[in-house]
Amino acid sequence: MLRLVNVNSYYNLVHVLRNLSLHVNEGEIVTLIGANGAGKSTTLRSVSGLHQVREGNIYFKGTDITNKPTEQLVKLGIAYVPEGRQLFRPMTVFDNLELGGYQAYKIYGKKQLKVNMDSMFELFPILKERQKQYAGTLSGGEQQMLAIAMALMAKPQFLLLDEPSMGLAPLIVREIFRVISELKNETGLTVLLVEQNANAALKIADRGYVMETGKIILEQDAASLLKNQEVKRAYLGKDKRGIWE
């Protein structure tokens, strides 16, 4: 469904992604793991059109989408949940969700927007309770749920998800990862996930890539990565067990 071929990206003179190639099949959850600065978030930003690719190509369902504007990618079925829960904080939960569903509203109308909204309230019941509350007053976990729900309001086929567990309590992290896994199993949603909590990510992923200094150094199915001794030492040590151990 998604394929990156020899992608090179830079921040000014810093070469961040170095001939990066990877693929995500339809219906998979694929996770990128690696140390801070490895290029994981830049990979998502490059796919989403927020960071320019200097060399190489990105394909979505066989179509070259390299450096296409983000709004065009949303129309194609790609949604991006950036790191840091970037919401419209002075607006209510309801209004944030409406904005997330703008493309669906333009194509299918108000009735479909309500259907999508009800679906998000079923997926995240706390958002229904908080729908009249300003987004900036929500807890960190509630804000992350809202950020994911905003992306899902567009009914994407492919979800780019950047560090969803960052700064959240273990129980909230468990719930968010449960929802991601449920969406994949029940709707066939395809997910490319960047996550520092490697244990949590690999528990729900089908496959994983290990990144180091802008390159892929290892690709295996998730179960194999969890057992891989080198990966364990680097990313799954006792201080990195996370919520699943």
Mind listing the pLDDT tens digit for each residue in 168-218?
Answer: 888 888 888 999 999 999 889 999 999 888 888 999 999 999 999 999 999
Assign 237 a pLDDT band (cuts: 50, 70, 90): low
State the total domains in the chain. 2
Prediction pTM value? 0.89
Write the pLDDT tens digit of every residue in 106-120. Answer: 766 778 888 889 999
User: 15: domain range?
Assistant: 2-77+156-239
Evaluate if residue 56 carries a pLDDT over 60: yes
> Looking at the structure, do residues 51 and 160 belong to the same domain, yes or no?
yes
Assign 242 a pLDDT band (cuts: 50, 70, 90): very low
> Looking at the structure, do residues 167 and 70 belong to the same domain, yes or no?
yes
> Looking at the structure, do residues 25 and 121 belong to the same domain, yes or no?
no
Looking at every residue in the chain, the average pLDDT score rounds to 90
Residue 222 lies in a domain: yes
Residue 245 lies in a domain: no
Please state the three-class secondary structure of the chain as a single string.
CEEEEEEEEEECCEEEEEEEEEEECCCCEEEEECCCCCCHHHHHHHHCCCCCCCEEEEEECCEECCCCCHHHHHHHCEEEECCCCCCCCCCEHHHHHHHHCHHHHHHHCHHHHHHHHHHHHHHCHHHHHCCCCEHHHCCHHHHHHHHHHHHHCCCCCEEEEECCCCCCCHHHHHHHHHHHHHHHHHHCCEEEEECCCHHHHHHHCCEEEEEECCEEEEEEEHHHHHHCHHHHHHHCCHHHCHHHC
> Looking at the structure, do residues 129 and 175 belong to the same domain, yes or no?
no
Evaluate if residue 245 carries a pLDDT over 50: no
> Looking at the structure, do residues 32 and 93 belong to the same domain, yes or no?
no
> Looking at the structure, do residues 21 and 133 belong to the same domain, yes or no?
no
Summarize the confidence of residues 223-245 as an average pLDDT.
69
CATH number of residue 168's parent domain: 3.40.50.300
* Domain stop point among 153, 176, 199: 153
Summarize the confidence of residues 128-155 as an average pLDDT.
94
> Looking at the structure, do residues 108 and 67 belong to the same domain, yes or no?
no
pLDDT score for 169? 86
pLDDT score for 236? 73
Summarize the confidence of residues 38-47 as an average pLDDT.
95
pLDDT score for 238? 45
> Looking at the structure, do residues 98 and 113 belong to the same domain, yes or no?
yes
Summarize the confidence of residues 46-52 as an average pLDDT.
95
